[in-house]
Structure 1
Amino acid sequence: MNIALSFINTLLISFVEMLYLVGVFIIIGFLLGYLEKYSNTYLVRALGRKGVILTAWIGTPIHEIGHLIQCILWGHKVTKVKLLQLNSPDGVLGYVEHQYNPASVYQQVGNFFIGLGPIFSGIASLIVGMYLLVPQSYATFKAQIHQHISVETVDINVLKMIGEAVMMISKSIFTLHNLVTPSFWLFIVLAISISSHVALSKADIQNSARGLVMIFALLVVFNIVAGFLHVNSYKMIVQLAEYNAYVLAFSSIAVIFSLVTLGFSFLLYKLKAT
């Protein structure tokens, strides 16, 4: 009986540790997916499918490149890549087909990050675009990261600091100077296009789920071994997961422009309705 309870406790601890390690990625993924869903709904109602196609020229290749880079990093064999296809009968705008060795734990874990690849490439592209096209806003973003975000356990104070940093970054982007600068509007087009296609597809989520199962299994084994060695595995995982504050800070850029995209799509929809 004690063995059974101990194993159940190990499973629970492993689940909590998994949330510490990758929970932020999952939350950000679903949030961006929710915002994109409604953005594209309003965009289609306002402009038809051509509205999605317009943003796909930039957004879809960046989405697929995110998958491709993660496939390479995690040792998967890429068999076919389509960065953009506009006339597919099933409506799929792009895809990356890949294979992996089921016996490789490393490659199985990689499925989680391959599925999340578009979020990483989307955020990176937004930051690079900000650096090149609205350098003053990028400087503010960089300063806010250095001044307000530190590697520590995510709690209410960290979330408050991130919220304040997001407000400062938003104010630095939507300034009068930027509004009369052509490069700013180029960045807005880039940001809207990326944000319209950064979310995960159903296939992406299913692929990530396979990797998540392996991550959980590894944590269970890790906690069992740590128990025999009398090592506080929970404390180790919590300390390892202190990067979450930075993940939230960088992800906030994608959230900001997903909200901008939602507002833009809703405005187009309302204008057409009137």
Structure 2
Amino acid sequence: MKFLESLLNTLMLSLVELFYLVGLLIGVGFLLGVLEKYSNKFLFKTFGPRGVLATAWIGTPIHELGHLLQCYIWGHRVTRVKFLQLNSPSGVLGYVEHQYNPGNIYQQIGNFFIGMGPIFSGIGVLIIGMYLLVPESYQTFREYIVVHISTDVQDSNDLMVIGRAVLAITKSLFTIENMLNPLFWIFLVLAISISSHIALSRADINGSAKGLLMIFFVSFITNLVTSFFGIDTYVFITRLTEYNAYVLAFSSIAILFSIITLLISYVLYKLKTGW
């Protein structure tokens, strides 16, 4: 009976750790997917296929670059890459084909991060673009991260972290000085294009699911071993809480511009069809 109770506790602990490790990242991916779906829907109704393709020139290559970089990180063999194809009969704008050894645990875990790659590359390019094109706004956001995320992480829930981060970015970006700066408008076009193609496809989600199962398996085995030796993993969960606060704060950049893209696409659709 004690063995079954211990096994059940280890199972629950592994599920909690899995949520803290990747759950919020999956949630961000789902939210971005919903925002992108409706943005593209309004753009398609307003301009036809050209409405979606207008942002694909920038957004799709960055999306596929995310997959590609993660393939290299996790040791997968890349067999074929198409960063952008505008005339595909299937409507697929780009893809990365890769192979891996099913018996390699590291490469199996990599499937999750390869599927999630566009979120990493999209957020990364947005941050780099902010740093290069609107450095004052980047500095303000950086200071927000240092002050609030580092000190208030234990006292904030997930929605508060996202909300405060979005508010901080909005205040730092949409200023009179930036409005008069041509580089700001370049960044805005870049950000909208990236956010329009940052969400995961069905194939991306299916690939990530394979890696997610392996992550859970490794976590469960690790917890069994640590439980046997009486090692407390609570500190690890605490660290994951802090990590998630950073994930949410940086993800807020993509969420903000996805919302802006949705609003713009909706207004254009209404202007065409009439209010």
Q: TM-score range by the shorter chain?
A: over 0.9
Q: 1:165 to 1:236 in 2, by over 3 A?
A: closer
**Alpha-carbon distance in structure 1 between the residues aligned to 2:166 and 2:252:** 7
For the pair 1:225 / 2:201, whether they are aligned, the reply is no
Deviation at 1:166, TM superposition (A): 2.5
The one-letter code sitting in structure 1 at the alignment partner of 2:191 is A
Moved more, 241-250 or 191-200: 241-250
1:189 is aligned to 189
The alignment partner of 1:150 has SS state of helix
Give the TM-score, by structure 2 length.
Answer: 0.94
1:31 is aligned to 31
Matches within 5 A, 1:4-19: 4-19=4-19
2:107 is aligned to 107
The one-letter code sitting in structure 1 at the alignment partner of 2:178 is N
1:148 is aligned to 148
Matches within 5 A, 1:46-195: 46-150=46-150, 155-156=155-156, 160=160, 163-195=163-195
Q: 1:174 to 1:44 in 2, by over 3 A?
A: same
Structure 1's unaligned 5+ residue stretches are: none
The alignment partner of 2:103 has SS state of coil
The one-letter code sitting in structure 2 at the alignment partner of 1:207 is G
**Alpha-carbon distance in structure 1 between the residues aligned to 2:53 and 2:114:** 24
2:261 is aligned to 261
Structure 2's unaligned 5+ residue stretches are: none
The alignment partner of 2:86 has SS state of coil
Deviation at 1:244, TM superposition (A): 1.1
Deviation at 1:258, TM superposition (A): 0.5
The one-letter code sitting in structure 2 at the alignment partner of 1:236 is F
The alignment partner of 1:8 has SS state of helix
Moved more, 197-206 or 178-187: 178-187
Q: Is the 8 A contact 1:152 1:242 kept in 2?
A: no
Residue by residue, what CA displacement relative to the aligned partner does 1:180-225 show, whole Å, maximum 9, x if unpaired? Answer: 3221111111111000000000000011110000000011101111
**Alpha-carbon distance in structure 1 between the residues aligned to 2:151 and 2:113:** 22
- Report % sequence identity: 62
Deviation at 1:161, TM superposition (A): 5.3
Moved more, 17-26 or 129-138: 129-138
2:247 is aligned to 247
**Alpha-carbon distance in structure 2 between the residues aligned to 1:168 and 1:20:** 24
Deviation at 1:94, TM superposition (A): 0.2
The alignment partner of 2:150 has SS state of coil
**Alpha-carbon distance in structure 1 between the residues aligned to 2:209 and 2:158:** 28
Q: Is the 8 A contact 1:112 1:209 kept in 2?
A: yes
Q: Is the 8 A contact 1:148 1:165 kept in 2?
A: no
Deviation at 1:4, TM superposition (A): 3.0
2:212 is aligned to 212
Q: 1:162 to 1:192 in 2, by over 3 A?
A: closer
Give the TM-score, by structure 1 length.
Answer: 0.95
Aligned length: 274
The alignment partner of 1:13 has SS state of helix
Deviation at 1:147, TM superposition (A): 1.6
Deviation at 1:36, TM superposition (A): 0.6
Moved more, 123-132 or 159-168: 159-168
**Alpha-carbon distance in structure 1 between the residues aligned to 2:139 and 2:234:** 37
**Alpha-carbon distance in structure 2 between the residues aligned to 1:5 and 1:207:** 33
Deviation at 1:131, TM superposition (A): 1.4
Deviation at 1:235, TM superposition (A): 3.7
The alignment partner of 1:79 has SS state of strand
**Alpha-carbon distance in structure 1 between the residues aligned to 2:97 and 2:273:** 40
Deviation at 1:5, TM superposition (A): 3.4
Cα RMSD (Å): 1.7
* Structure 1 consecutive aligned stretches of length 4 or more whose deviation exceeds 6 Å: none
